[in-house]
Amino acid sequence: MSALPPTSRSDGVVTPQRARSWTGLLATLVVAAACTGADPTAAKNQIRVLDQNQRQPQDQSDLLDKNRRPVPAAPEPGTGPLADAVRQALASIPPALQQQRFPADAVRTIGASGDARLLWYVYDLLRLAARDSVPVVIEAFETLSGASLDGEPYSAMGDRLLAWDLPAPPDYRRLKRDLFLLIEARWAPFFDDEDSAIDWRLVGWGGVFIDDRPVATNGEVCPRGCIPALDDPAVTDAAGGAWYPDDALVFGVLVAGEARAYPKHIMEVHEMVNDTVGGRRLAIPYCTLCLSAQAYFTDDVDGFAPVLRTSGLLSRSNKFMYDVTTFSAVDTFTGEAISGPLHDAGVTLGQTTVVTSPWGAWRAAHPNTTIVAEDGGIGRTYPPNPLGGRDDAGPIFPVGEVDPRLGVHEVVVGVLNAGGTPVAFPVASARLALEAGDDVSLGGVTLRPDSGGLRAFGASGELAAHEAFWFAWSQFHPGTLLWAR
């Protein structure tokens, strides 16, 4: 999938209208796109504890990107206020873009500034450059960074910046706001919250627009192109789910004895479901880029009744979700509110386990389960493989430095133990160990098989767990203890 528009125009600008035209294809591809116990050391299991300290780079020359290639040394960032000429250049860019002119001279001024903090802005600007203007942006990035780019420019720039972790330039939130609102004006509440915990350096555009429908139950799609949430989907009993192949994957949730299965191909289209299971309100985001389906309780937040949606933004390849009732951003991986009224109230949503399982195995283990109806209850037809192998060649968006202990797309079950320490278990090797009768435990967490999937338990009972690609789990939980057989 290209991160750049497939067409260009003589003025070198991607307008919001043109962005929507080429983003229709992009949207189709995206949617259709401290330990509490001793560690076992029995020779029988041959378990190695791979501690986070074993992979910390000694210096920046040790940084690796998602393709395990060395990342060039970081340039020296500037300090203090920006030069007057640079501030004037920055101020001229949004008006020029609004007038459908690409401000090449201003971009060259930024590139010649010698202030590497401005690399973040140059990277953002790439999303608003048509194909014939991209070389100007690349030249500015290479001049500022002192290193040539190789590969697709959007990914190469993003991976380097995330790995370098350079500081942002002064007033970066406003600078970025003025660019991103040219793409989607309805993102304004996120940018306008001065007290938010959003790290704007990490936020990029996923190529689709915001889903801000108050209710999403009748099949109405976003007319401008979004990833459409599904609220309170129609369900059938297990027998009514005969349409779904036994070997096809579901995301299974069990709450207060009630089981429900969410077919993976339906979740690949909607990426967000708000539902009631076991008498509890749940929001279930599925980040296809991270292979991470999670289940959050939304009925125990004092004074609020969150309904989650997909914004169209990304944060390190993870979907940027938000509560449509308060326009509060919520970290998809942790459930922590990071802007808006929910952030002001200090809200962190509680999680329950999501088991990734073949439908036949889930149904056999939970014969009273329900499953989302074949048409989602909205009369829609879902292709069996909406993504069509989109991620087969690796992450399609920037992820920055990677933890080399596993491959970026190796699947792990991740969990926080009772003390809050993140622990991860590679799914394939954990299953083999369990099939051999071995104990799979680390950091006070023990895995057990369930319904063709895996659940995690601590000394006091079950711990909320879910599967994810390793690059995603490790970047959001960098202190992870990693089990290996």
Q: What does the pLDDT look like over 147-158, one tens digit per residue? A: 999 878 988 999
83 token code pair: 């030069």
pLDDT recorded at residue 4: 30
Whether 325 contacts 307, CB under 8 Å: yes
pLDDT score of 27 more than 50: no
Please give the DSSP secondary-structure letter assigned to residue 352: E
Radius of gyration of the CA atoms of the chain, in A: 23
Q: Choose between 222 and 257: higher pLDDT.
A: 257
In the three-class reduction of DSSP (H, G, I as helix; E, B as strand; rest coil), residue 305 is classed as coil
Question: How many beta carbons lie within 10 A of that of residue 426, not counting itself?
Answer: 21
User: How far is the C-alpha of 117 from the C-alpha of 129, rounded, in Å?
Assistant: 20
Confidence of residue 136 (pLDDT cuts 50, 70, 90): very high
User: How far is the C-alpha of 335 from the C-alpha of 297, rounded, in Å?
Assistant: 10
412 token code pair: 């792990």
| Cα separation values, 253 from 157, 261, 262, 275, 458, Å | 38, 7, 8, 11, 19
pLDDT score of 52 more than 70: no
- Give residue 137's identity as a one-letter amino acid code: V
pLDDT score of 14 more than 80: no
Average pLDDT over residues 273-301: 97
337 token code pair: 């509110």
Question: How many beta carbons lie within 10 A of that of residue 80, not counting itself?
Answer: 7
pLDDT score of 8 more than 90: no
pLDDT score of 117 more than 80: yes
User: How far is the C-alpha of 317 from the C-alpha of 188, rounded, in Å?
Assistant: 21
pLDDT score of 59 more than 70: no
pLDDT score of 170 more than 60: yes
pLDDT score of 440 more than 50: yes
User: How far is the C-alpha of 280 from the C-alpha of 304, rounded, in Å?
Assistant: 15
Angle at alpha carbon of residue 42, lines to 41 and 44, rounded to 5° = 135
Q: Is 403 left (phi over 0), alpha (psi -120 to 50) or beta?
A: beta
pLDDT recorded at residue 399: 85
Whether 125 contacts 137, CB under 8 Å: yes
In the three-class reduction of DSSP (H, G, I as helix; E, B as strand; rest coil), residue 303 is classed as coil
Confidence of residue 6 (pLDDT cuts 50, 70, 90): very low
Report the percent of the chain where pLDDT is more than 70: 85
User: How far is the C-alpha of 125 from the C-alpha of 129, rounded, in Å?
Assistant: 7
Q: How buried is 430 (Cβ within 10 angstroms: 0-12 exposed, 13-18 middle, 19+ buried)?
A: buried
Q: How buried is 293 (Cβ within 10 angstroms: 0-12 exposed, 13-18 middle, 19+ buried)?
A: buried
Report the percent of the chain where pLDDT is more than 90: 77
Among 45-54, 107-116, 375-384, 399-408, the least confident range: 45-54
User: How far is the C-alpha of 11 from the C-alpha of 350, rounded, in Å?
Assistant: 49
Residues in the chain: 485
Q: Choose between 39 and 248: higher pLDDT.
A: 248
**pLDDT mean across residues, the chain:** 87
Contacts of 67 (CB under 8 A, 6+ apart): 394
